């Protein structure tokens, strides 16, 4: 495992194959209640290249107006399903943060065009809380920069079962996903990659 001076930890193979499989099944159950949605970006109305859903009391959504958190699924009008206990246990064990996360954003990447442009997570009020991230399925080429948009970036492959924690200064670093190594994993029935991000949204 790697933990750098900026508060970034990289834990490859943190979840074994059974643990990964169990998490894929959890996501399938969540998505049956809260279907994956292809959001559009504010102002431009351009669609993302990935599908998203959430668990928790707060879900991250996007539409032509804004990026924001909502207590309700925009399609069903229902509250998001609860964050599964196994994810809360992972958060408590790895972050040491004294409050539970409120959002588990789930991103689904599929195919050659799936990516997430360089951005910062800044829609949360609790900017001092860590962010915990789980990768399942196809390997992603992940990009990590610094606090400024023009800071130098490094890219590295993130494999299925990897957990990353962004605490301290790294919490506000620019990051994104350049692309997938399509077909590198058979974990998901239809191929592709799932990424789960646990976040505290409101200030405790």
What residue 133 binds from Fe ion, ligand MD3, none (CB within 5 to 8 A, per partner kind)? ligand MD3
- The 104-143 site mask, x for binding ligand MD3 (CB under 6 A), equals -x-x--------x----x---------x-x------x---
Residue 160 near ligand MD3 by CB under 6 A: no
Judged by CB, which is closer to Fe ion: 18, or 122? 122
Shortest-Cβ-distance residue relative to ligand MD3: 195
What residue 107 binds from Fe ion, ligand MD3, none (CB within 5 to 8 A, per partner kind)? ligand MD3
Judged by CB, which is closer to ligand MD3: 90, or 131? 131
Judged by CB, which is closer to Fe ion: 51, or 121? 121
Task: Tally Cβ neighbours within 10 Å of residue 3.
Answer: 12
Q: Name the site residues for ligand MD3 (rule: CB under 6 A).
A: 105, 107, 116, 121, 131, 133, 140, 164, 166, 170-171, 173, 175, 177, 195, 197
């Amino acid at each position: 495992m790697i933990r750098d001076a900026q508060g970034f930890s990289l834990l490859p193979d943190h979840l074994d194959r059974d643990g990964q499989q169990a998490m894929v099944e959890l996501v399938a159950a969540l998505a049956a209640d809260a279907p994956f949605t292809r959001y559009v970006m504010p102002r431009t109305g351009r669609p993302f290249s990935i599908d998203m859903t959430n668990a928790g009391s707060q879900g991250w959504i996007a539409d032509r107006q804004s990026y924001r958190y909502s207590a309700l699924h925009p399609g069903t009008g229902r509250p998001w399903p609860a964050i599964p206990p196994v994810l809360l246990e992972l958060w408590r064990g790895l972050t040491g943060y004294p409050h539970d996360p409120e959002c588990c954003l789930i991103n689904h990447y599929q195919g050659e065009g799936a990516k997430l442009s360089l951005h910062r997570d800044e829609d949360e009020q609790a900017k001092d809380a860590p962010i915990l991230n789980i990768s399942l399925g196809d390997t992603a080429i992940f990009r990590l920069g610094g606090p400024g948009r023009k800071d130098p970036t490094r890219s590295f492959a993130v494999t299925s079962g990897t957990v990353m924690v962004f605490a301290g200064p790294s919490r506000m670093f620019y990051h994104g996903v350049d692309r997938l190594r399509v077909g590198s994993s058979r974990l998901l029935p239809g191929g592709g990659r799932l990424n789960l991000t646990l976040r505290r949204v409101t200030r405790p």
